Amino acid sequence: MGRVARAPLQGAGFLYRAGQENSHFTLPMLNGAFGDQLAARNDSRAIQMSFRRYNADVPVADLRLMPLPNGQGRKTVVFLHGLMGDEIIWQTGRGSDDLRFGPRLQRELGVQCLYVRYNSGLHISENGRLLHQLLTELVATFPSAVGELALVGHSMGGLVIRSAGHYAALALSNAEAGPKPGAPVSVDLHSEPAPTGLPADWLALLRDVFLLGVPNDGSFLEQNSHFTSLVLRKINLWPTRFISGLIDKRSNGIKDLRHARLVDEDWQNPHADDLLPPRTVVPPLPGVHYHVLAGSLLKTASSVLHDYFGDGLVGAGSAVGRVFRDAAPPPDVFITTRLYPKLSHGTLLSNPEVYQYLHETLHPPAQKT
């Protein structure tokens, strides 16, 4: 009888402790759902893209990165979370002793790990351009401290990385070509100006891109949401219009996941809301090794369910991505694909086999046996 009487109190205590332990997710979840609307209103709760340390934003200059004792730059690994996530998912799990990929790589390999937090409710291309600017500022501020660069993205974070690479390559191409006489100057009022100097110099340092559970061909969940909203709107009754309107309140970042829109032109297109909208192909960057790591709830990859449902949130077919399955890729494109059976979307961030792959790939060449 005593145990029965105490059960509600114990349950309430457990829920309270769980809520306290995961309270850091509250703001990222709000931004993932409505972050574009918060940013449009200049709401103080709108997350600004920044490097993070000690649960706080850190200006690039305050990172105080140092080169190796011999003066060479350190291998630098930058982590990007997914939709409604934050940097803590790369650092700790359940309990302070459960160290995840970032701290372990830094401790075991001596690489310097940096963590980015961003407003996942913004358009993916908006975050891509902001990441390009942030990385440009990083290598401009610490030219001797940042050596080879590796980017690790989970889910939407991988799409932001690919978008940043696109805009970095575009900026480099424009800088080499120079401005055309009489061409209009484009000004983005919603972002900070890029640092002076070569606009895409971080690309010269980029060696590896790790894409963990990234919906490179889009998310089946968002595709279903869009289709449901479209059907309800077509029925054109007050209840269906109301429900459709509620569904359409989801953020621009979520909407971009439908077909993995990585550039501004795709969501600005007047046909962007069509069932089969136009989509710009963003190819892999030359000279960069892409590591496409996908999970699957099933034991085998020889199933249609595997391709569609994958890790439960991202289909394995989408994670592998058409752009990474070219039968005859250019000679300067390097792609490695790994499938991890019986892994869900979230457990990709703590799986020992996934960590071992990162560890072996990022191991400094001079120390390999």
Q: Assign residue 308 the CATH number of its domain.
A: 3.40.50.1820
Q: Which of 310, 284, 86 is nearest to 166 (CA)?
A: 284
| Residue 94 located in a structural domain | yes
Contacts (Cβ under 8 Å, ≥6 apart) of 254: 32, 33, 83, 121, 222, 225
| Residue 161 located in a structural domain | yes
CA 308, CA 319: separation in Å to the nearest integer?
10
| Residue 242 located in a structural domain | no
The structure tokens listed for 52 are: 């993070």
Query: How much is the pLDDT for 15?
Result: 36
Query: How much is the pLDDT for 102?
Result: 94
What's the pTM value of the predicted model, to 2 decimals? Answer: 0.86
| Number of domains composing the chain | 1
| Residue 271 located in a structural domain | no
| Residue 7 located in a structural domain | no
Instruction: Classify 238 as helix, strand or coil.
Output: helix
Query: How much is the pLDDT for 180?
Result: 55
- 82-96: string of b/e by CB count within 10 Å (b at 16+)? bbbbbbbbbbeeeee
- Nearest 5°: the CA angle 54, 59, 62 is 75
pLDDT tens per residue across all 369 residues of the chain: 666 555 555 544 543 444 445 556 789 999 999 999 999 999 999 999 999 998 899 999 999 999 999 999 999 999 999 999 999 999 987 655 678 999 999 999 999 999 999 999 999 999 999 999 999 999 999 999 999 999 999 999 999 999 999 999 998 888 776 655 554 444 343 444 444 344 548 999 999 999 999 999 999 888 888 888 878 877 877 778 778 887 888 999 999 999 999 999 999 999 988 888 989 999 999 999 999 999 999 877 667 777 888 888 999 899 999 999 887 888 888 999 999 999 999 999 999 999 999 999 998 555 443
Query: How much is the pLDDT for 97?
Result: 65
Structural domain for 96, as ranges: 23-178+186-220+286-364
Query: How much is the pLDDT for 188?
Result: 45
| Residue 36 located in a structural domain | yes
| Residue 225 located in a structural domain | no
| Residue 311 located in a structural domain | yes
Q: Which of 89, 83, 90, 88 is nearest to 34 (CA)?
A: 83
CB 337, CB 292: distance < 8 Å = yes
